[in-house]
Amino acid sequence: VAAVLDLGHHAERIAQLDATRRRARGWRYLRYALIALLVGWSVEAIVVGDTDWSRISVAGVASAAWRFIDFDASILLSLWEPALETVLMATLATLLGALMAIPVAWLGANNISPLGRFTYYVGRVLMTLSRSVHEVVWGLVFVAAVGLGALAGVLAMAVRSIGFISKTVAEAIEDVNKGPVEAMRAVGANRFQVLMFGIVPQVLPVIIGNVIFEWDVNIRRSTIMGLVGAGGLGLALHRQMASYNYGGIATVIFVILLLIVFGEVFSAWARRKVI
């Protein structure tokens, strides 16, 4: 009897909770329905509106894919130089990007930003701007600005790298151990000295680890910079595409894969060494 009475006491609350749950479920279904509706609308636009199915057949797709299987080994040796260029472009871009990321991280770290809120936001905006533009777009911008060639690719990837490196470094600076910093301030170090000897030694492993990671990503990026006019394997790919040599395309992609595996293995090894 006591239990029943107790339940009666709570009945109103239970009903309330039930209603909340029902409402939450209703919202959830509405959300799912909205997602499904958007997907349906988009799929319709892509599959029905934009694709000419009369021109796509299983046989056609199969034969189009089959063209790639014809591996063209004759150009393999000539790809050595573009492959080297690709790696060097990525390396230079990463170094340059890391250099340019230092001031941005300094601005964008909450605790050391030189003029407080204002410069903090400047740093954050620079990070977002660098990251939110795709490397192809950066490539086009720099090809337009400095002309065709490896320099445009290096600059494009460097600018694209600033965002990631400076963001992670700024985050590392923000949760730096305060002890050494305060100790240095107490003995009368100026801001630069605090930065150099109180903060940098603490965040250096993070910086190096992230720079190596970004190098790995930049190798991937640098394989396509040639498609917009900066050198490397992308240019070789572009040439094979322009001459409709599908076997050659397959060969270039094979070399790109080799390069990426090399980059991944090397960067994993280097990161283990550093951290």
Partner 1 sequence: VNTSTKTLPEWKRFRFPQSLYKYAALLASLGFVWWSLDVLKIDVERLPGLLERIGDVLARRYWPPDLAHVMQPDFLRAIVDTFQMSYVATVIGLLLAIPLSWFASFNMTPSRRFLYPVCRLFVMTCRSVHEMIWTIILVAVVGFGMLPGTLAMTLFCIGFGGKLMTEAIESVRKGPIEAIRATGAGHLQTFVFAVLPQVRVAWAGIAIYTWDVVFRASTVVGFFGAGGMGHYLRESVQKVESRQVTAIILTIVAIVIVAELTSAWARARIARAVA
Residues near partner 1 (CB under 8 A) are 35, 38-39, 41-43, 45-47, 50-52, 55-56, 61, 64-65, 67-68, 84-85, 88-89, 91-92, 95, 128-129, 131-134, 136-137, 140-142, 144-146, 149-151, 154, 197, 220-221, 223-224, 227-228, 231, 237, 241, 246, 249, 253, 256-257, 260-261, 264
Nearer to partner 1, 106 or 142 (CB): 142
We find the least distance from the C-beta atom of residue 17 to partner 1, in angstroms, to be: 18
Nearer to partner 1, 105 or 255 (CB): 255
What is d(CA 107, CA 122) in angstroms, rounded to the nearest whole number?
7
We find the least distance from the C-beta atom of residue 236 to partner 1, in angstroms, to be: 12
What is d(CA 115, CA 123) in angstroms, rounded to the nearest whole number?
11
Nearer to partner 1, 12 or 52 (CB): 52
- Cα radius of gyration (the chain): 28
Nearer to partner 1, 112 or 154 (CB): 154
Nearer to partner 1, 38 or 183 (CB): 38
We find the least distance from the C-beta atom of residue 119 to partner 1, in angstroms, to be: 20
Residue 249 near residue 226 (C-beta atoms within 8 A): no
DSSP string, 123-146: HHHHHHHHHHS-HHHHHHHHHHHH
Nearer to partner 1, 172 or 226 (CB): 226
Closest CA to 161 of 124, 123, 125, 135: 135
We find the least distance from the C-beta atom of residue 61 to partner 1, in angstroms, to be: 6
We find the least distance from the C-beta atom of residue 9 to partner 1, in angstroms, to be: 31
What is d(CA 160, CA 72) in angstroms, rounded to the nearest whole number?
33
We find the least distance from the C-beta atom of residue 126 to partner 1, in angstroms, to be: 12
Residue 125: both structure tokens together: 């905006």
**Strands annotated E in 17-144:** none
What is d(CA 209, CA 238) in angstroms, rounded to the nearest whole number?
33
We find the least distance from the C-beta atom of residue 13 to partner 1, in angstroms, to be: 23
Residue 136: both structure tokens together: 């192809």
Nearer to partner 1, 85 or 214 (CB): 85
Residue 30: both structure tokens together: 């509405």
Residue 148: both structure tokens together: 């065709």
The DSSP call for residue 231 is -
